[in-house]
Amino acid sequence: MSTFTLPNFSGCKAVVVHPEDQNCELLLPQLRMLGLSAETNWPVLRARPDSMDVVFFDADRGYDGQFPWDAGNAPAPSIALLGSEAPGRIEWTLRQKPDAFIQKPVRTGGIFSVLSIAFHNFRHQRRVKHKLDDLNWRLRARPAVVAAIQLLGSELGLDNAEAYQLLRTHAMRQRISIEPLCERISLLNSLAPLNLRSRQQQQ
């Protein structure tokens, strides 16, 4: 059973893309009490995306092209402030894939929970994306692995299991995964990346 580690937001920078109204008047002090620096931007994001740790945005008045990233690809945890129940507003908000929501009007309290959920969801989605990217890359590299195994079979007389084990051993020695090694072998159509001169060297 995993344990929850209490987040510490001290020193984090929050950017609130929202008109300066009563919602901001309630939100900003709560953020600063939690140790975040906070500023408002409206109607566009003026802060550099790589300078912020979390972004809040007005989902009721947000629009396409408001942010310098594609919808759903915010570089930091994003939190939508939503009061409207209009289907179009909800649909636009969901396209942004926020990591957490705050219902408007903003109330005193609850911001720590929202931040904790947003940071957790952002990290989780990043891990999932990394695993999917790695899986897709391995699938794309599969033909190169097959080609390398076949080349080892024809050059050294190894069966598939022996060839794969040899590739794995050399990949570990070079501290890389087996796919880039096989891609080099396939590209060169040569066993040169293994630095083999005879079958005895693979024993």
CATH number at residue 19: 3.40.50.2300
Domain-located, residue 60:
yes
Residue 3: per-residue pLDDT: 65
- 3 state SS of 160: helix
Domain-located, residue 179:
yes
Residue 189: per-residue pLDDT: 87
Residue 2: per-residue pLDDT: 58
Please tell me whether the peptide bond between 49 and the residue prior to it is cis, using omega within 30 degrees of 0: no
Residues 100 and 21 in one domain: yes
Query: Rounded to the nearest 5°, which phi and psi values hold at 52?
Result: -115, 150
Residue 203: per-residue pLDDT: 43
Residue 192: per-residue pLDDT: 87
Residue 202: per-residue pLDDT: 42
Q: What is the DSSP string of 68-112?
A: SS-TT--SS-EEEEE----HHHHHHHHHT--SEEEESSP-SS-HH
- Give the CATH number for residue 155: 1.10.10
Domain-located, residue 145:
yes
- Number of Cα atoms under 13 Å in the Cβ half of residue 123: 8
Containing structural domain, residue 187: 130-202
Domain-located, residue 83:
yes
Per-10-residue mean pLDDT, the chain, length 203: 77 97 96 96 94 97 95 96 96 97 95 96 92 85 90 90 91 90 89 67 42
Domain-located, residue 121:
no
Query: Rounded to the nearest 5°, which phi and psi values hold at 95?
Result: -65, -25
Domain total in the chain: 2
Residues 79 and 149 in one domain: no
